[in-house]
C-alpha cells in the first residue's frame, strides 16, 4: 500500500456555494497545519470543524476563508488521516488551495484513488467501491436505491457466505486428495453444493432487471412522416422538446432525450420519418433514423390511425424485425372509419419480435400510461417493476459475468459429485467458482482489473 499523501478537488469544476479540497495520507494533518490558520488557536481534533484561513506557506498571504474538517485514521473514508478544506466555490480559491497542498508535499490523486485506498485498507469491498460510483451516476430513484443497497454490503454478504461454504468444501476435498491415508470425517458435499448453487441462481435471476435499472435502454421512435412521433416524444417527456407541426418532414434529424419511466432511465430517440424522398437533406435524416434504429434496444413503431396502413408502414415494420418492438396505433382520436382493428394489423405484420400493441392519442392522453407500462414491462423482460423497499438486484455487468461463471463451475461440480467423478476434478471446479465469486468482492482480482475499475471514477473520489 502506498504511504504517500494524496490531494484532489472533490467538488465539480465551476462556480458553486462551496469547493472542497480533500487530502488523505500519513502527512495530511501535518500539511494542513502548515496551510491553515484557525481563528481560535488549539489542536486540530477529529470530527471538529475549524474556522480560519488557508494561507500560502511561503508568502503568508491569505488564499481563502475556509472551514477545515479533520478525520483521523482509522475512522475516515480511506482509513487514513483525512482533511477537507471547504473553501468558497470559485475556481481560483479552490485551485490555489490545491496548489498549496501540492507545494506542501502532497501528490495529486489519481482517478478514484481515495475509494481505492478505502478498498485496499479494508473499509469496503470491491462491490461496495463500485457502488460508490453508481451512487454518483444514478439517474433515477430506483437506480440510486440499488446503488445504496449495494454500498450497504448486501451483495458482499451474500457472496461471502457462499465463498465460506466453498472454502470449507475445497479444504475437505484437498485433504482427501493429498492425504488419502488420513482419516477425515466425511462430509455430505451434495446438499451444500446445491444450496450454494441456489443462492447464485437467485442472484442471477434478478440481474437482467438490475442491469436495466442501472444502464437504462435506448428506444427509437420510428414511422412515416407526420404519424405523431415528435408529439409522442413530447408526451413521454412531459415537455415540448421536439418541434411539432402539421407539415410532414418537420423532423430532419434524430433528437435524444432521457425520460424516467418507472425508475428506468430511457433514452427516447425521435427520428425523421422514413419514406422515399428526393430531398438531399431529408435523405440524410432518414439515414440517421435507420442508424438510430439499428443501435436501439427497442423500437416504438408508430402507425397513423387517421389513415389506412400503407406499404411504407409495412416496410418500416420490417426494419424493426430484429429487435423488440411496440406497435403504437397513434392519433386514436382521429381514427379512420375504415381502419382495421389493432389486432388484425398486428397479425398482418407477422413481426417476429412484436412485444405489445398500444392505441394512443397524444391529443387526449388516451393510452399513454398504458404505453409507458408496456415499455417498462418489455424492458424488464415481463418482471414486475421494482417495488418500494426492494433494492436487492445485481446491477453491474461485471458482477453478472462473475456470477454466471460461478454458476457454471458449481453446476459442473454438483454434476460431477452426483456422478462420482474423481475428487480432484471436483476441487478444480470449486476453486474456479471461488475465484469467480472473489472477483466480485475483490479477493481474487489483479492490479490490471483494479486500475480499469477505478479509472472510471472522477479525481477526488
Alpha carbon distance 370, 326 (integer Å): 12
196 annotated to a ligand binding site? no
Do the annotations mark residue 246 as ligand-binding? yes
| Residue 247, marked binder | yes
At residue 326, φ and ψ (nearest 5 deg) are -110, 125
C-alpha span between 327 and 355 (Å, rounded): 8
19, containing H or E segment: strand 16-24
Q: Closest Cα to residue 225, out of 128, 322, 145, 304?
A: 304
Q: What's the half-sphere exposure (Cβ side, CA atoms, 13 Å) at 38?
A: 15
Query: Which cell goes with 123?
Result: 473499509
Question: 176 to each of 127, 180, 188, 191, 345, how far by Cα in Å?
Answer: 34, 5, 14, 19, 66
Is 24 labeled as ligand-binding? no
| 69 annotated as belonging to a binding site for a ligand | no
Cβ atoms of 113 and 6 within 8 Å: the answer is yes
Angle subtended at Cα 68 by Cα 64 and Cα 71, rounded to the nearest 5 degrees = 155
Instruction: Tell me whether residue 331 is annotated as binding.
Output: no
Residue 254 is labelled as binding a ligand: no
Phi, psi angle pair for 286, to nearest 5°: -65, -40
β strands within 165-253, DSSP E:
217-223
Strand order of the sheet with strand 107-108? Answer: 36-38, 49-55, 62-71, 82-89, 16-24, 6-9, 107-108
- 308 labelled ligand-binding: no
Q: Answer yes or no: is 250 a known binding residue.
A: yes
230 annotated as a binding-site residue: yes
258 is in an annotated binding site: no
Helix (H, G, I), strand (E, B) or coil at 254: coil
Is 461 annotated among the ligand-binding residues? yes
Tell whether 110 is in a known binding site. no
Closest by Cα among 220, 258, 253, 209 to 237: 258
Is 272 a known ligand-binding residue?
yes
Cell numbers placing 51: 474556522
The H-assigned helical ranges of 276-396 are 280-295, 311-319, 342-349, 368-379
Classify residue 103 by burial, with Cβ atoms within 10 Å: 0-12, 13-18, 19+: middle
Query: 476563508: which residue's cell?
Result: 65
Residue 75 near residue 88, CB atoms below 8 Å = no
- Is 460 annotated in a binding site? The answer is no
Residue 245 is assigned to a ligand binding site: yes
Residue 227 annotated as part of some ligand binding site: yes
The helix or strand, by DSSP H or E, that contains position 7, with its residue range, turns out to be strand 6-9
84 is in an annotated binding site: yes
Is 248 marked within a binding site?
A: yes
Q: Is 251 annotated among the ligand-binding residues?
A: yes
Residue 320 known to bind ligand: no
Residues 132 and 149 sit within 8 Å (Cβ to Cβ): no
**Binding residue positions for GTP:** 226-231, 245-251, 270-273
Q: Which residues are annotated as a binding site for (6S)-5-formyl-5,6,7,8-tetrahydrofolate?
A: 22, 84, 123, 461
Binding residues: 22, 84, 123, 226-231, 245-251, 270-273, 461
- Going by the annotation, the residues of the binding site for Mg(2+) are 230, 251
Per the annotation, binding residues for K(+) are: 226, 245, 247, 250
Amino acid at each position: 500500500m502506498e504511504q504517500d499523501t494524496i490531494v484532489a478537488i472533490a467538488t465539480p469544476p465551476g462556480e458553486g456555494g462551496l469547493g472542497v479540497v480533500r487530502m488523505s495520507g500519513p502527512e495530511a494533518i501535518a500539511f494542513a497545519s502548515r496551510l491553515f490558520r484557525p481563528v481560535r488557536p488549539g489542536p486540530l481534533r477529529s470530527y471538529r470543524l475549524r474556522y480560519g484561513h488557508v494561507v500560502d506557506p511561503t508568502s503568508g498571504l491569505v488564499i481563502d476563508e475556509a472551514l477545515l474538517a479533520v478525520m483521523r485514521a482509522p475512522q475516515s473514508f480511506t482509513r487514513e488521516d483525512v482533511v477537507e478544506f471547504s473553501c468558497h466555490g470559485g475556481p481560483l480559491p479552490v485551485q490555489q488551495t490545491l496548489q498549496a497542498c501540492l507545494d506542501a508535499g502532497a501528490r495529486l490523486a489519481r482517478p478514484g484513488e481515495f475509494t481505492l485506498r478505502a478498498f485496499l485498507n479494508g473499509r469496503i469491498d470491491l462491490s461496495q467501491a463500485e457502488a460508490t460510483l453508481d451512487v454518483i451516476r444514478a439517474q433515477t430513484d430506483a437506480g440510486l436505491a440499488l446503488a445504496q443497497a449495494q454500498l450497504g454490503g448486501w451483495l458482499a454478504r451474500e457472496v461471502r457466505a457462499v465463498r465460506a461454504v466453498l472454502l470449507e468444501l475445497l479444504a475437505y476435498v484437498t485433504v482427501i486428495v493429498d492425504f488419502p491415508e488420513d482419516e477425515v470425517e466425511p462430509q455430505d458435499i451434495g446438499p451444500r453444493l446445491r444450496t450454494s448453487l441456489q443462492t447464485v441462481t437467485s442472484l442471477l435471476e434478478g440481474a437482467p432487471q438490475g442491469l436495466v435499472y442501472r444502464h437504462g435502454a435506448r428506444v427509437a421512435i420510428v414511422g412515416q412522416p407526420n404519424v405523431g412521433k415528435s408529439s409522442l416524444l413530447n408526451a413521454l417527456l412531459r415537455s415540448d422538446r421536439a418541434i411539432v407541426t402539421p407539415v410532414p418532414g418537420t423532423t430532419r434529424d434524430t433528437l435524444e432525450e432521457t425520460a424516467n419511466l418507472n425508475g428506468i432511465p430511457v433514452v427516447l430517440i425521435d427520428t425523421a420519418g422514413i419514406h422515399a424522398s428526393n430531398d438531399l437533406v431529408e435523405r440524410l435524416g432518414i439515414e440517421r433514423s435507420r442508424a438510430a434504429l439499428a443501435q436501439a434496444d427497442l423500437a416504438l413503431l408508430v402507425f397513423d390511425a387517421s389513415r389506412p396502413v400503407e406499404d411504407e408502414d409495412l416496410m418500416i415494420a420490417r426494419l424493426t424485425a430484429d429487435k423488440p418492438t411496440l406497435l403504437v396505433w397513434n392519433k386514436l382520436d382521429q381514427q379512420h372509419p375504415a381502419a382495421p382493428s389493432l389486432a388484425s394489423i398486428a397479425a398482418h405484420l407477422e413481426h417476429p419480435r412484436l412485444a405489445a400493441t398500444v392505441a394512443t392519442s397524444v391529443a387526449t392522453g388516451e393510452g399513454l400510461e398504458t404505453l409507458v407500462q408496456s415499455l417498462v414491462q418489455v424492458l424488464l423482460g415481463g418482471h414486475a417493476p421494482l417495488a418500494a423497499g426492494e433494492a436487492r438486484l445485481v446491477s453491474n455487468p461485471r458482477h453478472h459475468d462473475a456470477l454466471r461463471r460461478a454458476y457454471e463451475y458449481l453446476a459442473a461440480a454438483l454434476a460431477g459429485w452426483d456422478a462420482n467423478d474423481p475428487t480432484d476434478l471436483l476441487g478444480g471446479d470449486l476453486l474456479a467458482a471461488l475465484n469467480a465469486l472473489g472477483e466480485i468482492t475483490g479477493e481474487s482480482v489483479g492490479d490490471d482489473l483494479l486500475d480499469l475499475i477505478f479509472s472510471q471514477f472522477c479525481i477526488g473520489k
